[in-house]
A and B are shown apart, each in its own frame.
Chain A
């Protein structure tokens, strides 16, 4: 056995391609006689569509195809099929596609799109989630009851509720009555956008034989194919999806997005390639966004500082469609208690349609949002009880022998949030007796997430050899920066004792040729594809050894793999892979074996549905990844500006596969968390429903200058039982606790709480002023106790 490869800083296998520009992204691809698409979008947040007239646009010079709702009536949506390619009878957000035009130039397409006449009858819009949830609210989807839906998502016909997951554990009501102290708080998170470097783009062609071919900037080629086939009533075999390199997705390119519009137009101009590329402006409101959240938490504690009763009411602002978002609602439901053990729980996670942009997957899949609420709530309770926030978390956190909100009993392999808490507390200097400086503070927050996916979500791989014994690995997971291709090469290298240089990972899948993969989401690729790689490698090893055993006339069991050769230790005889991978030829000329290849897959085993009434389940998810972050901040008391000086992060990832990559992943997550936590919010005009900050001028994400001066990143390695070499997911978790940790540090620094994300300087300034006023008032009233300044 050569030196270990897993656990070392193997350089990115796609690095050279990416830094030289050799790597091609969808928009780089050249197509002969390409047609360009302009989409006719609703200017109204909510309206009936009375008429769509496309005849004038269709007659314009250079226009090759026009399509609108009546031509494509089938519904699509990954979990809840609530959306058609184009709005048919009703539009549900500003930007909802009503029709589209394909023309010879982008300008001609835009001119023609402007000539599509749509007659609307405006309806009262709903932007606020509580308004949408209220009884008697106008319905965004009056036909909700007739939509096709997977059995584990529960829309409520006749309301705006597209999914409701209930957790009922223990006896919440009695536990609350018996509590020593009770705390209730409301927290809010606005919609935010993913802002990937590469906006969405899809190119489609329907050939003269009717076969559909798509190139798309997407996270999930097979799910795109599956949903396209459904939406257009085609056999899967007649739909082919290619995904070149992808310039960031963060969930926004999960499921299906622009592809149906491009395909619809391509069907009307067979043989021509049709490209739909949204610009940065449209990217903000016309693709997808993260859902908004209003969370109401009630916590009842006993005299020992142990939480006895916990109520969590999550209202999700899903926007106009919930096809994907309904599963975020579910995920937030079965994870509603975060990293804590709550014996008596009443949890409700409710998705509500509104007339805002469409909510969908976003790195963390609901977890940053609920942790914003939960981790601040835990902090408030700790502070009110006079218990150190880190100690309070340790007292209540999950671990071996503890049970989650779904009643799942964790074992010793589940991961150690306690170690993560201690680690970051130490790294940031969170000792209870630490020296205090005014307007400087430290905060801590935990994180947990499981992959939120159907129980049968699978990944598969194909391993095959080239003539020179280069191992080629076909995967359909997308490496859009997280390092999947490199990790796959490391696993194969480790399993076959083959140098990484002899491995080529084919990371740009083509559904006609590549093995099936459900989606690149849920922090599941290292784990699921990794497991498939080990299984396939085991098969490869068997084939190589069988041929070598015959060639060397030794028992196969006595053979091992070393440095790209099959070795018989006892005799010292060896056969390099080159002599085996295409079959072995004996001196007399006869040959055995044959081209060596293997295909294998991984599907999580033993997952059980949640009980429909209580959501209790012994194994609702494949795994949990726990972690914690702590921050130290400085607040300018006069301007409200917050500087995050240091962030410490620690996660129990089971096994660090590539230290450089996982550190990069974590730094990126922290910075993205800093963005949503302190600056991001998609703002709609309350009258028109239009996004008013749909540009990079008005919607800011962190720049390099905003990156914290210091980020201390560490990992715990409690091996995941069903993980490849013990590894579990980490991609999303890195951004979950950052905003809550900053919010908690604000309390520590200056005694204010911000319950509505993001923590802008102006909000901090207002809270400080409110606190000052309250203190003056209290002084005047001669009261000893000073209430905290708290603003929304």
Chain B
């Protein structure tokens, strides 16, 4: 870690964006649970840290008129997963959040940070994909909204431009009401990255809507639209076919946590189980 590190803590989003633009080698700091270890190991070496935690706006969790929820970038995961609106309308996000690290870590780690780190194994990203979340971004050219499905490009890579600041993540009211499970295989039960993560959600209705999203089995978190459409048409009895579609959609690699072959097969097993449990 560099000895000479500038630490800045602006109190407004626009100031943060302006500071970032004036400093070519800077990084935004939220909980730091990804950034600081990366700096310590030399994988990242910003000369300036712009701490966003003093910006009041980023700490807000706001209920929207459409029944959705806006989660400020600096809100820790622990507050997200215990929020009454999340628990009642977006329980799958709470399910996924609970598998990130451990409770003390989630007091610091943020939803926005988990998303911006863009790990293929990011547990909360799976829920956000499934719930059609929108990412609000501030930049020197103004503010814009980006669909989460457009955000992830590859391991550690997002569609954000250098200097873009994620201000909040919006869960649209239209995505409320999905229930289901986030099944996750890992080498040990507590505090481990997913070897395979599978979210299966369902919202009752005529017809029922389905969500199938995967972690750690492709360069980015993945949503399997084909499986969702099939399930909407045929219902839970199509669990096996849906599982096959998910297997076809995933592109796992072999690494220390598991082989590509194992991961692919587990996608099939877990999607099938997830669907069957909602049948």
Q: Which residues of A approach B to under 8 Å, CB–CB?
A: 105, 107, 281, 638-639, 641, 679, 683, 692-693, 697-698, 700-706, 760-762, 765-766
Within 8 A of A (CB), among B180-205: 185, 187-193
Q: In the assembled complex, which residues on chain A have CB atoms less than 8 Å from the CB atom of B258?
A: 762
> Chain A residues near B262 (CB, 8 Å)?
762, 765-766
Binding site secondary structure of chain B = loop
Interface positions, chain B 264-279, Cβ under 8 Å from A, are 265-266, 269-270
The 7 closest A-B pairs by CB, nearest first: A703-B190, A705-B190, A705-B189, A638-B269, A762-B262, A700-B187, A700-B188
Contact with A along B4-46 (1 / 0, CB 8 A): 0000000000000000000000000000000000000100000
A175 to B275, CA, bound (A): 59
| CB closest chain-A residue, reference B40 | A279
Q: Does B82 contact A (CB under 8 A)?
A: no
Contacting pair B259 A762 (CB below 8 A): yes
The 8 Å CB contact of A760, one of B41, B187, B265, is B187
> For residue A703, which residues in chain B have a CB less than 8 angstroms away from its CB?
188-192
Question: Which residues does chain A contribute within 8 Å of B256, judged by CB atoms?
Answer: 683, 692-693, 698
| Docked-complex contact B269 and A706, CB < 8 angstroms | no
In the complex, residue of chain B having the shortest beta-carbon distance to the beta carbon of A763: B262
Q: Spell out B's residues near A (CB within 8 Å).
A: 3, 41, 185, 187-193, 256, 258-259, 262, 265-266, 269-270
Chain B residue nearest to A679 in the complex (CB) = B187
Least Cβ–Cβ distance between A769 and chain B, in angstroms: 9
- Roughly how many angstroms separate A727 CA and B187 CA in the complex, as a whole number? 38
Give CA–CA (A765, B269) in the complex, Å: 12
Q: Add 5 more A-B contacts to A639-B269, A639-B270, A702-B188 (CB < 8 A).
A: A683-B256, A692-B256, A700-B192, A703-B188, A762-B259
Which A residue sits closest to B3, measured CB to CB? A107
A706 touches B259 (CB 8 A): no
Q: Which residues of the partner chain B approach A766 to less than 8 Å between Cβ atoms?
A: 262
Structural contact, A704 and B190, CB atoms closer than 8 A? yes
Q: Indicate if the CB atoms of A679 and B185 lie closer than 8 Å.
A: no
When distances are taken between beta carbons in the complex, the residues of chain A under 8 Å from B192 are: 700, 703
A-B contact pairs, 15 of them (CB 8 A): A107-B3, A281-B41, A638-B269, A639-B185, A639-B270, A641-B185, A683-B256, A693-B256, A700-B187, A700-B188, A702-B188, A706-B188, A762-B258, A762-B259, A766-B262
Note all chain B residues with C-beta closer than 8 A to A762: 258-259, 262
Shortest Cβ distance from A766 into B: residue? B262
Cα distance A524–B270 when bound, in Å?
49
- Nearest residue (CB) in B for A111 is B3
Output the residue of A701, A765, A766 with the most chain B CB within 10 A. Answer: A765
| Given A692-B256, A693-B256, A762-B258: A706 and B266 interface contact (C-beta under 8 Å) | no
Report the nearest A residue to B259, measured CB to CB. A762
User: How far, in angstroms, from A367 to B262 measured CA to CA in the complex?
Assistant: 32
Name the B residues within 8 Å of A700 (CB-CB): 187-188, 192
| Contact (A761, B269) CB under 8 Å given A107-B3, A703-B190 | no
| Residues in B neighbouring A638, C-beta threshold 8 A | 269
Chain A residue, CB-CB nearest to B266: A639
* Known contacts A638-B269, A639-B266, A762-B259; A697 and B193 CB within 8 A of each other: yes
User: What is the minimal beta-carbon distance from A670 to any residue of chain B, in angstroms?
Assistant: 15
Q: Which residues of B contact A705 (CB under 8 A)?
A: 188-190
- The distance in angstroms between the C-alpha atoms of A302 and B148, with both chains bound, is 69
**Taking chain A's interface residues, is the majority helix, strand, or loop, or is none over half, making it mixed?**
loop
- How far apart are A36's CB and chain B's nearest CB, in angstroms? 13
Complex interface: chain B residues within 8 A of A105 (CB): 3
Q: How far is the CA of A698 from the CA of B256 in the complex (A)?
A: 7
Closest CB in chain B relative to A190 CB, distance in Å: 13
Q: Which residue of chain B is the closest to A693 with respect to CB atoms?
A: B256
| Assembly CA distance A641 to B193 (angstroms) | 16
Q: How far is the CB of A338 from chain B (nearest CB, A)?
A: 29
Question: Closest Cβ of chain B: how far from A244's Cβ, in Å?
Answer: 26
Expressed in whole angstroms, the Cα–Cα distance for A638 and B185 within the complex equals 12
Query: Which residues of chain A are near B41, meaning CB under 8 Å?
Result: 281
Bound form: Cα–Cα A731–B259 in Å: 37
Chain B residue contacts of A704, Cβ below 8 A: 190
**Complex CA distance for A105 and B3, rounded to whole angstroms:** 10
Docked pose: A701 CA to B187 CA in angstroms = 9
Q: How far is the CA of A701 from the CA of B192 in the complex (A)?
A: 10
CB closest residue in chain B, given A695: B41
A706 to B185, Cβ gap below 8 A?
A: no
CA distance A707 to B256 in the complex (A): 23
List of B residues within 8 angstroms of A639 by Cβ: 185, 266, 269-270
B263 → chain A, closest Cβ, in Å? Answer: 9
| A179 nearest CB across to chain B (Å) | 40
In angstroms, Cα B270 to Cα A638, docked, is 9
List, in ascending order, chain B residues with CB within 8 A of A761's CB: 185, 187
A638 to B262, CA, bound (A): 11
Q: How far is the CB of A602 from chain B (nearest CB, A)?
A: 41
A641 to B266, CA, bound (A): 11
Q: Which of chain B's residues has its CB closest to A692's CB?
A: B256
CB distance from B99 to the nearest CB of A (A): 11
Residues of B within 8 A of A679 (CB): 187-188
Q: What separation, in Å, do the CA atoms of A693 and B257 have in the docked complex?
A: 10
Bound CA–CA A107/B3 (angstroms): 8
Q: Which residues of B contact A692 (CB under 8 A)?
A: 256
Beta-carbon nearest neighbor of A680 in chain B? B187
Enumerate chain A residues within 8 angstroms of B270, measured Cβ to Cβ: 639
Residues of B within 8 A of A698 (CB): 256
Contacts of B259 in A (CB 8 A): 762
> For residue B3, which residues in chain A have a CB less than 8 angstroms away from its CB?
105, 107
Q: Looking at the complex, which one of A107, A683, A706 makes contact with B190 (CB distance below 8 Å)?
A: A706
Minimal beta-carbon separation of B266 from chain A (angstroms): 6
Shortest B114–chain A CB gap in Å is 15
Q: In the complex, what residue of chain B is closest to A675 when comparing beta carbons?
A: B188
Nearest CB of B to A741, in Å: 19
Expressed in whole angstroms, the minimum distance between the Cβ of B49 and any Cβ of chain A is 17
In Å, the complex CA distance between A765 and B259 comes to 12
Return A285 CB to nearest CB of chain B, in Å.
15
Bound-complex Cα distance A679 to B193 (A): 14
When C-beta atoms are compared, the residue in chain A nearest to B102 turns out to be A703
Please, which residues of chain B bring their CB within 8 A of the CB of A107?
3
User: Residues of A contacting B266 with CB < 8 Å?
Assistant: 639
Closest to B41 in A: A281
Closest A residue to B273 using CB positions: A638
Task: Give complex CA distance A638, B258 in Å.
Answer: 15
Given the complex of chains A and B, what is the CA–CA distance between A698 and B258 in angstroms?
11
Expressed in whole angstroms, the minimum distance between the Cβ of B97 and any Cβ of chain A is 16
Alpha-carbon distance A107/B2, docked complex (angstroms): 8
Chain A proximity of B202: nearest CB distance (Å)? 21
B102 to chain A, nearest CB (A): 8
CA distance A238 to B274 in the complex (A): 69
Name the residue on A nearest B265 (C-beta).
A765
Nearest CB in chain A to that of B269: its residue: A638
Provide the bound-state CA to CA distance between A365 and B48, in Å: 49
When chains A and B are docked, how far (Å) is the Cα of A761 from the Cα of B185? 9
Closest chain A CB from B3 CB (angstroms) = 5
Rounded to whole Å, the gap between the CB of A283 and the closest CB of chain B is 14
Specify which of B187, B265, B269 lies most central, judged by the most chain A CB atoms within 10 Å of its CB.
B187
Most buried by B among A107, A639, A679, A683: A639
List residues of chain A with CB within 8 A of the CB of B193: 697
Complex Cα distance, B21 from A334, in Å, reads 70
Q: How close is B264's CB to chain A, nearest CB, in angstroms?
A: 12
Write the nearest CB–CB distance from A767 to chain B, whole angstroms: 12
In angstroms, Cα B14 to Cα A505, docked, is 62
CA distance A698 to B265 in the complex (A): 22
- Alpha-carbon distance between A639 and B194 when the two chains are bound, in angstroms: 14
Residues of chain A within 8 A (CB-CB) of B269 are 638-639
Q: Would you give the shortest CB distance from B277 to chain A, in whole angstroms?
A: 14
* Distance of B187 from chain A, by nearest CB (Å): 5
Considering the chains assembled together, what is the distance between the CA atoms of A638 and B269 in angstroms? 7
Report chain A residues within 8 Å CB of B265.
Answer: 765
CA distance A55 to B190 in the complex (A): 48
Q: How far is the CB of B262 from chain A (nearest CB, A)?
A: 5
Give CA–CA (A347, B191) in the complex, Å: 42
